[in-house]
Amino acid sequence: MKKIFLLLFFVVFTSQAQQFYRIKADVSIKDKLSNGSFRLTVGKVYYDKTNLKVVYKLTFPQQETIIIKDTTLFKISKDSVISQTVMAANEFSIFHLSLSGKLADYGINAGNAAKIYKISKVEKDKDGRVITTWSVVEKQLMETLGKIKMANVNKRLDAIAFYDVNEKLLSQQFFKEYANINGVEFPKQVTQISYNTDGTQNIQQTTYKNIIIDQEDENSIYNYPIPTIKPLIKQANKSPK
């Protein structure tokens, strides 16, 4: 009996202690822009949870490396390095949330986000999805952030919608074709719809294939160095002698 108890304890303990830290996948991104144009991007994506860095190694339409770290995105091509500020943090990326087992509630029920949002309503729709409404409870943010609505199916996140303070829909994401890879629940297709102020919308559909969890090689890509961008120093104009 004692041996059975110890074996059960070991199984439970090791399953709880399992920490996933890396994910790699082939990625294909199809964009339909509000002006009617289309764009296709193909390559591979790497994410390491320990350093909170996403690395895209793109092969089409051109060879390019994209690094997202903190709130900065770096585009590295053969001849140039361009940086720009991004709004979303990697802690709320699909990679980080999936590896952390927090995708089901988009991670807003833990950490600092749990101090901002609380569940205000739970219901079921006609398709049997569980619809959860999260409302802002942090007083200082009530005038800048709107509610979030989530739809879950079998405890998996099926869709999420973000609203402004006037309850106008800003964006939606849909998560389909879940796969369990070594214990990590990951959707192989993610569609995001962003709504512009003029009523038009941008649609982005991302497909992931050949997903690998906790890859032990290709360390040079996971640890790809953040480029140093020197500020442009303008020389003072000299008057002719």
Average pLDDT estimate for 160-179 = 96
Domains and CATH numbers, the chain: 19-222 (2.50.20.10)
* pLDDT given at position 76: 94
What is the average pLDDT value for the chain, to the nearest integer? 88
What is the tens place of the pLDDT at every residue in 123-164? 999 999 999 999 999 999 999 999 999 999 999 999 999 999
* pLDDT given at position 230: 54
- pLDDT-derived band at 8, boundaries 50, 70, 90: very low
Q: Is the pLDDT of residue 89 over 70?
A: yes
Q: Is the pLDDT of residue 236 over 80?
A: no
Secondary structure letter of residue 8 according to DSSP: H
* pLDDT given at position 110: 84
Q: Is the pLDDT of residue 168 over 80?
A: yes
Residue with tokens 């399992």: 18
Q: Please report, for residues 76, 108, 137, 219, the alpha-carbon distance to residue 118 in angstroms, rounded to integers and kept in the order given.
A: 40, 9, 7, 39
Helical (H) or strand (E) element with 9: helix 2-17
Pairing of strands 169-181, 117-124: unpaired
* pLDDT given at position 113: 87
What is the tens place of the pLDDT at every residue in 177-199? 999 999 999 999 999 999 998 88
Q: Is the pLDDT of residue 10 over 50?
A: no
pTM for the full model? 0.84
Rounded Cα–Cα distance for residues 91 and 103 (Å): 11
* pLDDT given at position 239: 43
Q: Is the pLDDT of residue 165 over 90?
A: yes
Q: Please report, for residues 3, 169, 170, the alpha-carbon distance to residue 198 in angstroms, rounded to integers and kept in the order given.
A: 67, 13, 12
Average pLDDT estimate for 48-66 = 96
Q: Is the pLDDT of residue 97 over 90?
A: yes
List, as one string, the DSSP characters of 87-124. Answer: SS-GGGSHHHHHHHT-GGGTTTTSTTHHHHEEEEEEEE
Residue with tokens 């709130």: 71
